[in-house]
Chains A and B, each alone.
Chain A
Amino acid sequence: DSGVTQTPKHLITATGQRVTLRCSPRSGDLSVYWYQQSLDQGLQFLIQYYNGEERAKGNILERFSAQQFPDLHSELNLSSLELGDSALYFCASSLGQFVNTGELFFGEGSRLTVL
């Protein structure tokens, strides 16, 4: 158990819909990262927040948005869903703002299926 909690574990929805994925980082960790894992794309970095502020941005679509709240939990919002958005979405957390200062602790992921 990494200490990172993600909900829901599984989500099935239809194209065009909007979903919210939630992540609670390990106690004490200030950074939250979102990654998308699909079979053909591997682990794709989406975005990082540190202590409530956006720290780094990856290949995140405009239809996707994220935020980190004062209690440090984070939410990833996916809208106008397409079939290609079906993937496993991982949240990870770390203590510092720089990714090279320590390991990332990954949650178990939220599996999104878009029908």
Chain B
Amino acid sequence: QQPVQSPQAVILREGEDAVINCSSSKALYSVHWYRQKHGEAPVFLMILLKGGEQKGHEKISASFNEKKQQSSLYLTASQLSYSGTYFCGTERNAGGTSYGKLTFGQGTILTVHP
């Protein structure tokens, strides 16, 4: 089951903040975030494993609400280099263990203008 990301696209000015959401209809074991710049391979940002866990990576952080099967990616004080497509990947929870498959959402296109 592919997770659903929202919004589909975001346009920002440098220095503005953004939130990208990822939700699943199934219980999740982990959530992964990747960024892909145009014409390049996806690059890892972070993994979240526990309910309510929040992780940070420079000015990019994320939360994972295990009960709601949702994750949010927070980008603060955006920079031009943040432009790209952000993918969340979800790993389903099978009674406390993993199904072993990382399924990606459709992606959110983030554009940061000067």
Contact = CB atoms under 8 A, between A and B. Distances in A.
Interface of A: 2, 33, 35, 42-45, 48, 55-58, 90, 98-100, 102-109
Contacts of A106: 41-43
B28 to A, nearest CB: 10
30 contacts: A2-B41, A35-B104, A42-B87, A42-B106, A42-B107, A43-B42, A43-B87, A43-B104, A43-B107, A45-B102, A45-B103, A48-B100, A48-B101, A57-B101, A58-B103, A90-B41, A90-B42, A99-B32, A99-B91, A99-B100, A99-B101, A100-B29, A100-B30, A100-B32, A100-B91, A100-B98, A103-B32, A103-B44, A106-B41, A108-B40
Nearest to A57: B101
Counting from the closest, the 7 A-B pairs by CB-CB distance are: A103-B44, A106-B41, A43-B104, A56-B100, A100-B30, A42-B106, A99-B102
Interface in B93-114: 98-107
Contact of B41 (A33, A42, A48, A108): A108
Contacts of B103: 45, 58
B42 A100 contact: no
Given A42-B87, A48-B100, A100-B29, 17 more contacts: A2-B43, A42-B105, A43-B107, A45-B102, A45-B104, A48-B101, A55-B100, A56-B100, A90-B42, A99-B30, A99-B91, A99-B98, A103-B32, A103-B47, A104-B32, A106-B41, A108-B41
B2 interface: yes
B60 interface: no
Interface string B69-107: 000000000000000000101010000001111111111
B18 interface: no
A44 B1 CA distance: 11
B49 interface: yes
Contacts of B107: 42-43
Nearest to B44: A103
Contacts of B44: 103-105
A90 B47 CA distance: 20
Contacts of A99: 30, 32, 91, 98, 100-102
